[in-house]
Chains A and B, each alone.
Chain A
Amino acid sequence: MGDTPSTNGDEPADDGRGSAGQLTEPTAVGADGSRSIGGLIRTAEIDTRLLGMVGALIVLWIGFNIMSGGTFLTARNLWNLTVQTSVVAMMATGMVLIIVTRNIDLSVGSMLAAVGMAMALLQTEILPDLFGIGHPAIWILSLAAGIALGAAMGGLQGVVVAYVGVPSFIVTLGGLLVWRGAAWWMASGRTIAPMDKTFQIFGGGARGTIGGTWTWIIGGAACFGIVALLVVRRRQRIKHGFEPRPMWAEVGVAVVACVVVIGAIAVINSYPMPERLAMKYAEENGIAWPPGGLSIPLGLATPVLLTIIVALVMQFTATRTRYGRYVYALGGNPEAAVLAGVKTRWTIVKTFMLMGVLVSIAASVQIARLNAATSGMGQLAELYVIAAAVIGGTSLSGGVGTIPGAILGALVMQSLVSGMVLMGVDAPLQDIVVGIVLIGAVALDSLYRRKAT
């Protein structure tokens, strides 16, 4: 291109979001002077924002552990933490995409109640009359109906937002009232219980865990998956003639990821069944009850397993599919997306439908866990879900946000709440702390962004 004076030499400094390995000499970016470490992280193409969040989470956990006298970092508490996080985490992955498209969904809490109530009524009052109590069709049909209902409710809101042009804030604010009212109306405010026996598995209660062996198998599969993914990505790069990450980075990432996975599995599996449950289990499986008692691991709870599956599917959708690409494109520049021929309105409708489906899955977990459905379920859930997405780095101005960030955000929020409960902090004070943390997290994020650009 001739001798244009260094128009391309002065690219804005790479902000650590990872560039395709052409940075042999890291540009002096780190104002913190961590030139070498920053350079290492950049060469290994690790997301620094995510790393920061993991760091914050670790600090939080250690802090709570010290302040609560060592009760926070116990297998029991961590196991419970994963179960408690799951409902908000699943919905937060959908909220990320909603917010990325420059919309918001304030109706998820109410929708959870309405869908949950519908599923509860189906399996306690309608389907048993048709099939008889305990028939496998009951849980399958009520789950399928719930998911279809969630998709329809979300889709309806999406159509009004995208095709009628009513701002999503208004549409879903209306939805917040409408769905809550519908939840009450369906059963005239009664509490509906108990759920179908098989359906209860979704709640992760006594029978809702997969046991130690399967948990280890899943852990092993996860490690295998991580390594396979890294290998495939490396081959792809080489095939297209790009410089791959240095080998030490590949191996390092693989080792760290596998150690984390195996560590998490080990912690989860070190939480044994309560004695009463273990006795019953031993009896059912013909195991003799030794005098010292048995330590049988509960393993992963179904809600956690569901959350992991939801997260993987959503991450895949957001980053590997055309639909996901369009979501980010229209969030970044709606006009450009239209000019490029993207059906932006339909993409928004699909995003709201997806949110509805995730709400239904969360509702299944919620009613199974409570073993009941009330019209007051999920109150304020919308705020926790939005907070999780935002703490996880989703920008309310659209175009920016990640699924792993949202999961971490949900984990941070739940850790805060459960840590404060362990320390015996009063409920009003808990709310104050969560509120301040939310604002603080976003403030930090805007500072970070301003520095990056």
Chain B
Amino acid sequence: MTQESTQQGPLVEMRDIRVAFGGVHAVDGVSVDLHAGEVVALVGGNGAGKTTLIKTLSGAHRADSGEIRIGGEKVTIDNPRDAKALGIETIYQTLALAENIDSPGNMFLGRELRTRWGTLDDSAMESATREVMARLNPKFTNLKVPVSSLSGGQRQSVAIAKSVYYNARIIIMDEPTAALGPAETTQVGELIMQLKAEGIGIFLISHDIHDVFDLADRISVMLQGKLVGTVNKDDVTMDDVLGMIIVGKLPSDVTQTELNGLHG
């Protein structure tokens, strides 16, 4: 399936998306795409519109105009449920976990497995969680404790496991490493690489330029609601991308004076 979709063209195409709040154009005619097994980073300063753009894909916001194609087909996404039905899972910056409940409880929240008497099937949920975890984070075995007593990396694993279990084709990650220490950031990076290897397309929203260069295949830069451009990671340097974020021009268009200004 992975091979096929790569050959058939992008998994997600967002064309000319516009979102306005009152008179402000939060997203102003932006087009981005994502292939299976690819990580596309969305970067930009605060208020650049990247979160708003991605919310039109996760169903949290409606776009005023523009079109979204998934696997080549035009789709309408009105709410998070629509997005989930299309295989789009979102991992929020806050992780959206109920701290007082254990990992299987969180993973199946809203979609609990039940026994034939209609009661919660905790053993089945635990063993399913165990299976997914064995793939994602084999060292994480104490599933029966409340999430509040887990480390940041383990919580991130639970949030990611939730997406993986429901066979997400597209995962949106909003600042996945913002609240993590260095070791845990490495671990999340490994998780992302693994998802990628499984043919899942990932939109990564991040402020951390190092993370972006470690994880992304392509980088889309936004400034003031507009797309500055999309570049291949291997073709640019960090300075180039910083230039795009701050000045809003593609590397080839940036003058030497502007570059010097960056380092000044």
Contact = CB atoms under 8 A, between A and B. Distances in A.
Co-complex (A, B): yes
B127 interface: yes
Interface size on A, as a range, is: 35 or more
Contacts of B153: 7-8
B54 to A, nearest CB: 15
B100 interface: yes
Interface stretch (A125-133, A183-191, A325-333, A378-386): A325-333
A241 interface: yes
Contacts of A239: 123
A203 B245 CA distance: 75
B140 interface: yes
B98 interface: yes
B144 A240 contact: no
A341 B140 CA distance: 26
Contacts of B183: 4-7
Given A337-B109, A341-B111, A399 B119 contact: no
B98 A236 contact: no
Interface residues of B, number: 48
A68 B137 CA distance: 60
A99 to B, nearest CB: 13
B80 interface: yes
A240 B98 contact: no
B165 interface: no
A22 B145 CA distance: 12
A11 B150 contact: yes
A329 B98 contact: yes
Contacts of B154: 7-8, 11
A421 to B, nearest CB: 38
Contacts of B160: none
B101 A329 contact: yes
Nearest to A336: B96
A241 B144 contact: no
Interface stretch (B9-17, B42-50, B184-192, B214-222): B184-192
Given A11-B150, A322-B112, A18 B144 contact: yes
A233 to B, nearest CB: 9
A399 B101 CA distance: 9
Nearest to B105: A325
A242 B127 contact: yes
A17 interface: yes
A339 interface: yes
Nearest to A334: B98
Given A7-B184, A329-B105, A321 B119 contact: yes
Interface string A151-162: 000000000000
B65 interface: no
B142 A11 contact: yes
A321 B146 contact: no
Contacts, number: 128
A71 to B, nearest CB: 42
A1 B190 contact: yes
A213 interface: no
A8 B136 CA distance: 13
A14 interface: yes
B83 to A, nearest CB: 11
Contacts of A330: 98
Contacts of B80: 339, 341
A356 B80 CA distance: 34
Nearest to B149: A12
A342 B136 CA distance: 26
Interface string B147-183: 0111101100000000000000000000000000001
A284 interface: no
A400 B150 CA distance: 17
A332 B126 CA distance: 20
A10 interface: yes
A399 B120 contact: no
Contact of A10 (B100, B114, B118, B151): B151
Contacts of A316: 119
Given A22-B141, A320-B119, A341-B81, A1 B187 contact: yes
A31 interface: no
A331 B114 CA distance: 22
A453 B139 CA distance: 22
Contact of B139 (A1, A12, A19, A325): A1
Contacts of A320: 119-120
Interface in A2-36: 2, 4-12, 14-15, 17-20, 22
Given A4-B190, A242-B126, A336-B98, 14 more contacts: A8-B151, A240-B127, A241-B127, A325-B109, A325-B112, A331-B100, A332-B99, A332-B100, A335-B96, A336-B95, A337-B110, A339-B80, A453-B148, A453-B149
23 contacts: A1-B139, A1-B191, A8-B140, A8-B151, A15-B149, A17-B145, A19-B144, A22-B141, A236-B123, A240-B124, A242-B126, A242-B127, A320-B119, A321-B120, A329-B101, A330-B98, A333-B96, A335-B94, A335-B96, A337-B110, A339-B80, A341-B81, A453-B148
Interface of B: 80-81, 92, 94-101, 105-106, 109-112, 114, 118-120, 123-124, 126-127, 136-146, 148-151, 153-154, 183-184, 186-187, 190-191
Closest 4 A-B residue pairs measured CB to CB? A340-B110, A332-B98, A332-B100, A8-B139
